[in-house]
Structure 1
Amino acid sequence: MSQLSGPEIKHSLRKLDYPLCAKEAIIKIGQLICNRVPSLKHMDLALDLMAELIFCEVDRRGNKRHSPLTSLDELQLLDILYDYLNNTSNETSRNAVFLSLFSGTTAMMRSAVLSKLVSVAVGIPSPTVLSSASVWMQQLGNTSHNSNQLAKALIKDYFVLSPNIVHKLNVLPHIAPQFTANFLTAIANMYFTDGKKEAFTFPSQNLLETITLWVNENSGLCIAAQQIQSSLPPGAIAMEATTPLAGLLRWCILAPIYNEDSDLYGKLHLGLLNSILEIPSTNPPRAISAAHLVQPVGIILRFLNDEQLKVKTTEQIVDKQKTLIENKLQLCLDRFAQAIQVALSINCVYGNMEDLFYQLQQLPQNRLLRIVIHTHKLNK
């Protein structure tokens, strides 16, 4: 079949019923795109086979199908894709096929199949498939909409619909550290991200427990995606992973002022600080962006502004309530200062440092934060 032309290959595969045509098509797709130097003609043929014979998005004339895969078809397809990827030992070839199946232009359209495929790989588990999923998240951006949608689907599967099996995820950082790190980055981007309290969403208790456990038991987890170079097809440009450190620190910093009083935030904060301290100080990675690290500033200032408006529009807040708010604010600022000082001590913060410290000076008085700012000025 390898000597057949494109039309002949399609004609041969069309004779097969689904899902056998999909099973044969994925093998042919691997052969087409995993050549040493695949031609554009081969790539176009592979994409055509995916659209028509794998995902059934178009008919043989290229017209869009209005009826999606049935539930049975989808289940059979998941089995085919899982077996093919799990049994493809060549990492570069496997990643090339995975990235082609769920490219940036088709990922949203195929998100249901993608999410279920990765969910199965998490549950079984399959480090091989999760490795390719990690590369996919990194190449499309682990803070992108596509990665967020995948993270939401996994959270729904394991933390909402099946909370009784959450404990099975405890091994995930050990079997798939790069995937877990990219998954954490996507999750971190989903919560504590809006300045309006009514628009805020917070992680569930079981999700927070799992993440806290992961971080505290695996000090190198947060930078794991930056430690190994992705195996990509020829010509592909490796995209740098964003670590989850700044996003998860934001959770811990903002939790007190939004009445998220779980002790887990304190434990997570400590685990994150220890993770940063474990980063090699000689030639450290670009672990934390200054632009990401400074994000809590605007949210804290908007929170204080809202509290001041409440005082003006309602009866004056009693002293006890004022003290409570002030204590929560100081805990928030203490955690912020600790995170900044530890990150600076390891020299793993990159970006516009002057803007970072300019914005920090807009925050209310806090003894530890002032010491950090003053020390930075002396060391300039």
Structure 2
Amino acid sequence: MMGDMRQSLLRRDALSAAKEVLYHLDIYLSGQVQNSPSPSVDTPTLELVEEFILHRRMSALQELQLLEIMCSCFQEQSRDAVRQLIFSALFTLQGNQADESRMALLGKLVSMAIAVGRVPILECAATWLQRSHTVYCVRLASGLVDDYCSLLPGSMVPTLNNISSSSPQFCCQFITAVTTLYDLSTELSPPVELLQMVVSWIQDDPRLVLVTLLNTPASSSQPMGSLDLTPLAGLVCWCVKSPLAYRRDRKQGLSNGMPDTKPEAGPLFSALHLSVLQVLLLLPGVLREKGLLGRLALMQPEQLTSLISDLSRLLEELNPLQGDTQTHTQLTLERLAQALQVAMAAGALLCSREDLRALCSHLPHNNLLQLVLSGPVQQSAFYPHVNTPPLGYSPRPLGPHLSAHSPHPTSRSPHPSSYPSYPSQPFIAGMAFPFRPSH
């Protein structure tokens, strides 16, 4: 029967054949979901997908029409299980020559789904991002950023802003992928409008960063080489590295005779840093609910080791004793200290102070970092909810759910009054820790 179908498809034009395979896939998998306890796609059907959708040449117009047909197919299919199986049959990487065509078609389909607001496709793409290898997830994210920042500059924020509420799962996975793509270890840095959008999303709803964790059963395990369960580690790296990384990029640009025309990203990273600390403060309750408090490190020791190594290398490239560089160095170290203390208190980083001291031993001196490395790490109950406003930048006001928490905890400071008082903005109400927004 499958052979007869193939012969029939060979007589059709490329678009008509691809449309017929999609129709067959929909009918076949709907039956599988209805009649089988373990629905799956058989090999002959996968071969039809490869031959008539992925390998046949199409004109640009035919390809656009195919994308529109696929959008309609996913939109009209009411059962999520069937949609996910169709998406899996089309785009699960098989380790063969068709994978390049799969990635190209996937990038175009997700880009179109973003443009026209096809949420079912974005939900399927979120699942794909969670199950696929990081290398391919980064490729997909890179293509989407190119589409909306390079080919259509100025379109990313207005186009993607509403997606955070309609498909938070996709947005969470997308943030994880872009923080992996732009890790600031090289001169590749996130476009300012992408950074602005991420800050806006997280300020609107800090729990967006935890959506994948919230929706993942506690007993399940991540596929080998997949993206992190949350983008927290990547976001911490952005905030901590950014003062030095952007200082390096500016210095290299000027030495190459290039004018400094990039928009100022410092205030955005300052706002993002505060938002990340707010997210960390939500973690103990989430981890406790899932029975994972003290058992699941959302910031792995090897990620922290890589971060410290990158900071050391950045400092070698710059002169840490130079006026401006020294200011940026201290800002970086203060953000590192704040992130470490809150992450340990929240249960996101399961690491001893002895290990931290060894890791940070080659970094320049910073009073706050020394305090964190030498003093006791307080339990999360000692940390009141952050209720200070974003520093330096606020594209949108914080939602009411972030400002209606406990009253100002001036009487609950976990540090003795004998510690020196720093004349600067506290990063958490009631804590005399220095927080310097970049200017």
Regarding TM over 0.5, the answer is yes
Cα separation, 1, equivalents of 2:356 and 2:99: 35
Q: Which residue of 1 aligns with 2:301?
A: 290
Cα separation, 1, equivalents of 2:49 and 2:304: 41
1:222 aligns with 2:226: no
Cα separation, 1, equivalents of 2:350 and 2:104: 36
TM-score w.r.t. the length of structure 2 is 0.71
Cα separation, 2, equivalents of 1:122 and 1:374: 48
Letter in structure 2 aligned against 1:268? L
Q: Structure 1 residues 100 and 356 mapped into 2: Cα distance closer, same or farther (>3 Å)? A: farther
For residue 328 of structure 1, give the secondary structure of its aligned residue in structure 2.
helix
Letter in structure 1 aligned against 2:111? S
1:59-105 CA-partner distances (Å, limit 9, x unpaired): xxxxxxxxx33212211211121111222222222112212211223
Cα separation, 2, equivalents of 1:82 and 1:119: 11
Q: 1:122 aligns with which of 105, 114, 118?
A: 114
Q: Is the 8 A contact 2:284 2:347 kept in 1?
A: no
1:181 aligns with 2:169: no
Q: Structure 1 residues 277 and 51 mapped into 2: Cα distance closer, same or farther (>3 Å)? A: same
Cα separation, 1, equivalents of 2:63 and 2:54: 9
- How far apart are 1:8 and its partner, in Å? 2.1
Q: Is the 8 A contact 2:244 2:315 kept in 1?
A: no
Cα separation, 2, equivalents of 1:259 and 1:38: 51
Q: Is the 8 A contact 1:286 1:348 kept in 2?
A: yes
1:6-45 CA-partner distances (Å, limit 9, x unpaired): 21222333343332222221121234455126798x6111
Q: Which residue of 2 aligns with 1:372?
A: 372
Deviation larger for 127-136 or 353-362: 353-362
Q: 1:152 aligns with which of 112, 135, 142?
A: 142
For residue 101 of structure 2, give the secondary structure of its aligned residue in structure 1.
coil
Cα separation, 2, equivalents of 1:205 and 1:300: 22
Cα separation, 1, equivalents of 2:72 and 2:316: 55
Structure 1: gaps spanning 5 or more residues: 58-67, 231-235, 312-320
Q: Is the 8 A contact 2:123 2:170 kept in 1?
A: yes
Cα separation, 2, equivalents of 1:355 and 1:92: 45
Q: Structure 1 residues 27 and 356 mapped into 2: Cα distance closer, same or farther (>3 Å)? A: farther
For residue 182 of structure 2, give the secondary structure of its aligned residue in structure 1.
coil
1:269 aligns with 2:273: yes
Q: Structure 1 residues 153 and 244 mapped into 2: Cα distance closer, same or farther (>3 Å)? A: same
Matched residue count: 342
Q: Is the 8 A contact 2:232 2:299 kept in 1?
A: yes
Cα separation, 1, equivalents of 2:302 and 2:26: 40
Letter in structure 2 aligned against 1:297? I
1:255 aligns with 2:226: no
Cα separation, 2, equivalents of 1:128 and 1:329: 45
Q: How does 1:194-209 map to 2 (within 5 A)?
A: 194=185, 199-209=186-196
For residue 227 of structure 1, give the secondary structure of its aligned residue in structure 2.
helix
For residue 108 of structure 1, give the secondary structure of its aligned residue in structure 2.
helix
CA RMSD of superposed structures (Å):
2.8
Cα separation, 1, equivalents of 2:120 and 2:39: 27
1:306 aligns with 2:302: no
Q: Structure 1 residues 257 and 229 mapped into 2: Cα distance closer, same or farther (>3 Å)? A: closer
Q: Structure 1 residues 20 and 356 mapped into 2: Cα distance closer, same or farther (>3 Å)? A: farther
Q: Structure 1 residues 8 and 245 mapped into 2: Cα distance closer, same or farther (>3 Å)? A: same
Cα separation, 1, equivalents of 2:7 and 2:350: 54
Q: Is the 8 A contact 1:343 1:349 kept in 2?
A: yes
Letter in structure 2 aligned against 1:299? D
Letter in structure 1 aligned against 2:192? Q
1:331-367 CA-partner distances (Å, limit 9, x unpaired): 0000011111111111122579865553123322111
Q: How does 1:1-380 map to 2 (within 5 A)?
A: 5-33=1-29, 35=32, 36=36, 43-57=42-56, 68-104=57-93, 105=95, 106-141=98-133, 144-165=134-155, 166-194=157-185, 199-229=186-216, 239=223, 242=228, 243-259=230-246, 262-281=266-285, 282=288, 283=291, 284=293, 286-307=297-318, 322-350=322-350, 355-375=355-375
- How far apart are 1:288 and its partner, in Å? 2.6
Letter in structure 2 aligned against 1:278? L
Percent pairwise identity: 27
Q: Is the 8 A contact 1:290 1:352 kept in 2?
A: no
Cα separation, 2, equivalents of 1:17 and 1:46: 19
Q: Is the 8 A contact 2:236 2:339 kept in 1?
A: yes
Q: Is the 8 A contact 1:249 1:272 kept in 2?
A: yes
Q: Structure 1 residues 123 and 211 mapped into 2: Cα distance closer, same or farther (>3 Å)? A: same
Cα separation, 2, equivalents of 1:343 and 1:363: 20
Q: Is the 8 A contact 1:280 1:346 kept in 2?
A: yes
Cα separation, 2, equivalents of 1:336 and 1:187: 21
For residue 349 of structure 1, give the secondary structure of its aligned residue in structure 2.
coil
